[in-house]
A and B are shown apart, each in its own frame.
Chain A
Amino acid sequence: MSNIDSEIRRILQEHGRLPVDVASLSSGQDLYQAGMTSHASVNVMLALEDHFDIEFPDSMLKRSVFESVDAISQALVELQAATAA
């Protein structure tokens, strides 16, 4: 498990208010189907922005970007690459 992956999981555990243990979910599993509400996903986004010191542009603020650990991780990598460039 990559470092970024485990950070995302920690944030999900803390803010995602999922009815299941985040560790039990695979990286590609749909978080919304697992019970993350859209209200909780807003808190996840805020926590991710704070922790990684990034800002999700509006074009990334949509359901598909936050629907799995993989999707979040991909978005973060893209954002960090854009910041470094």
Chain B
Amino acid sequence: MSVAVDRDQAFLDAVATIAKDVAAPNADDVDRTARFPAETVAALREVKALSAFVPEQLGGAEVSFEAVARACFTLGQSCGASGMVFAMHQIQVSTIARHLDDAPWFESYLRDLAIEQRLVASVTSEVGTGGDMGRSVAAVEPVGAGTGRFEKQAPTVSYGAYADDLLITLRRSPDAEPGDQVCVLTRKDQHTLEPTGSWDPLGMRGTCSPGYVVRAEIPLEQVLPTEFARVMNESMVPISHILWSHLWLGIASDAFERARAFVRAAAKRKPGEPLPAAIRLSELMSELSLLRAEVSSGLREFVDASTGDRSRLSEMATILRFNNLKIAASEQAPRVCQGALGVCGIVGFKNDTPFSVGRHLRDTMSACLMVANERIHQTNANLLLIAKEV
């Protein structure tokens, strides 16, 4: 037990140092120029943080889920885009690690990932599916014995051009139904990315997520044996919602800290004088507390539901729970950032003061679009018809 605790602490200390010394000083430039946070990812590679979720026997650090969630929070405080790249990578790695099912190719892949600190991006969205990750158009087409190929039109692939490997959802075969999906992993030397758009968004600019047509020809052993429907319910969706929520909380917490620093500076200038901003800060704190409470209870419930038999994660009440975490956190985080702007006023609005919160506000505004809340509400509305104990 104490070995695991030490391991978590060493990992968290290393990530905290990178967040402070590398991610934070580059955050404004990453945002302004919409560039990939390369130096932060390089530093994370250096401390082997990209294999944090890889089991120890495959060469990874095997830190706890809580520690990775905490790391997303910490990076989010310094640079939202860096936190998002890190979170998305960890989502792909944990998805593979939790559904290995004795697939020898994927076991050896995780070994390579741990040694080479390979960065994994995902290609789950697709043109023509209306944003439903549980459906695919593109399919694995057999070409000769043991080989398959595909072509997928993805409207966004976060850091696709910077990733070593891609985890892609596809229909199992050309005659499979849209919901009969598998996950395929391709290495950089196996796939091609043809850009289909530009990348000049409102926020999360450093994630560099334009659209691509992704093409590859791969040995069929690179198809994850577990069907995607299970992977999605037991891992990809709840883990995404939890890690994203943590980094959104990180961004919102930093915006709050900036507002607090602003109020303290004002109070020091005129001690004893009434300070309207102090009241607004107090109001903002209660908003932040709500977000904190939702994020931490979501994490606890996920860890509980993941121990032993994971089938609880496929139950409707559980799916509703983690969908609600995503909706609540994605709405509350920009609310806190906007509140921080209200406290700081013009110095918060300007992009070059210690109290600037424009980047925080813009970054968190992406939250409600990452798997659109509308779509999640549609799913929930449907599940609420039959789920009982919600």
Interface residues of A (CB under 8 A from B): 19, 32-39, 42, 45-46, 49, 55-59, 61-64
**Could you tell me if B179 and A37 are in contact, using CB atoms closer than 8 angstroms?**
yes
- Asked if A61 meets B177 with Cβ closer than 8 Å, knowing A32-B229, A38-B134, the reply is no
- Asked if A58 meets B179 with Cβ closer than 8 Å, knowing A63-B229, A64-B311, the reply is no
CA distance A39 to B384 in the complex (A): 12
Query: Which B residues are CB-close (under 8 A) to A57?
Result: 388
Query: Which B residues are CB-close (under 8 A) to A32?
Result: 177, 179-180, 229
Given A35-B179, A36-B179, A46-B385, 4 more A-B residue pairs with CB atoms under 8 Å apart are A37-B134, A37-B178, A61-B316, A64-B311
**Could you tell me if A62 and B179 are in contact, using CB atoms closer than 8 angstroms?**
no
B78 contacts chain A at the CB level, 8 A cutoff: no
- Asked if A58 meets B177 with Cβ closer than 8 Å, knowing A42-B383, A64-B311, the reply is no
**Could you tell me if B314 and A56 are in contact, using CB atoms closer than 8 angstroms?**
no
**Could you tell me if A33 and B177 are in contact, using CB atoms closer than 8 angstroms?**
yes
Interface class of chain A by DSSP: loop
**Could you tell me if A62 and B177 are in contact, using CB atoms closer than 8 angstroms?**
no
CA distance A66 to B389 in the complex (A): 19
**Could you tell me if A62 and B314 are in contact, using CB atoms closer than 8 angstroms?**
yes
8 Å CB interface, B324-370 against A: none
**Could you tell me if A33 and B314 are in contact, using CB atoms closer than 8 angstroms?**
no
B387 contacts chain A at the CB level, 8 A cutoff: yes
**Could you tell me if A61 and B317 are in contact, using CB atoms closer than 8 angstroms?**
yes
Query: Which A residues are CB-close (under 8 A) to B230?
Result: 63
8 Å CB interface, B131-188 against A: 134-135, 172, 176-180
Q: Which residue of B lies closest to A36 (CB)?
A: B179
CA distance A7 to B134 in the complex (A): 28
**Could you tell me if B382 and A39 are in contact, using CB atoms closer than 8 angstroms?**
yes
Query: Which A residues are CB-close (under 8 A) to B180?
Result: 32-33, 35
**Could you tell me if B388 and A64 are in contact, using CB atoms closer than 8 angstroms?**
no
Query: Which B residues are CB-close (under 8 A) to A45?
Result: 386
B21 contacts chain A at the CB level, 8 A cutoff: no
Interface residues of B (CB under 8 A from A): 134-135, 172, 176-180, 229-230, 233, 311, 314-317, 379, 382-383, 385-389
Query: Which A residues are CB-close (under 8 A) to B389?
Result: 58
Interface CB pairs A-B, < 8 A, 10: A19-B177, A35-B177, A38-B134, A38-B382, A39-B382, A55-B388, A58-B315, A58-B388, A58-B389, A61-B316
Query: Which B residues are CB-close (under 8 A) to A56?
Result: 386
Find B382's partner among A42, A55, A58 (CB 8 Å cutoff): A42
Query: Which B residues are CB-close (under 8 A) to A42?
Result: 382-383, 385-386
- Asked if A63 meets B382 with Cβ closer than 8 Å, knowing A19-B177, A58-B317, the reply is no
CA distance A2 to B176 in the complex (A): 30
Chain A to chain B: the 4 pairs with minimum beta-carbon distance, closest first:
A35-B177, A62-B314, A61-B316, A58-B317
**Could you tell me if B388 and A38 are in contact, using CB atoms closer than 8 angstroms?**
no
Q: Which residue of A lies closest to B230 (CB)?
A: A63
**Could you tell me if A58 and B387 are in contact, using CB atoms closer than 8 angstroms?**
yes
**Could you tell me if B177 and A34 are in contact, using CB atoms closer than 8 angstroms?**
yes
Q: Which residue of A lies closest to B233 (CB)?
A: A63
Nearest-Cβ distance from residue B245 to partner chain A, whole angstroms: 23
CA distance A55 to B385 in the complex (A): 12
Q: Which residue of B lies closest to A19 (CB)?
A: B177
- Asked if A62 meets B315 with Cβ closer than 8 Å, knowing A35-B179, A38-B134, the reply is yes
* Residue from A38, A46, A56 with most neighbouring chain B CB atoms (10 Å): A38
CA distance A5 to B186 in the complex (A): 43
Nearest-Cβ distance from residue A51 to partner chain B, whole angstroms: 14
Query: Which A residues are CB-close (under 8 A) to B135?
Result: 37
**Could you tell me if A38 and B314 are in contact, using CB atoms closer than 8 angstroms?**
no
**Could you tell me if B386 and A61 are in contact, using CB atoms closer than 8 angstroms?**
yes
**Could you tell me if A61 and B382 are in contact, using CB atoms closer than 8 angstroms?**
no
Find B386's partner among A35, A36, A46, A63 (CB 8 Å cutoff): A46
Query: Which A residues are CB-close (under 8 A) to B316?
Result: 58, 61-62
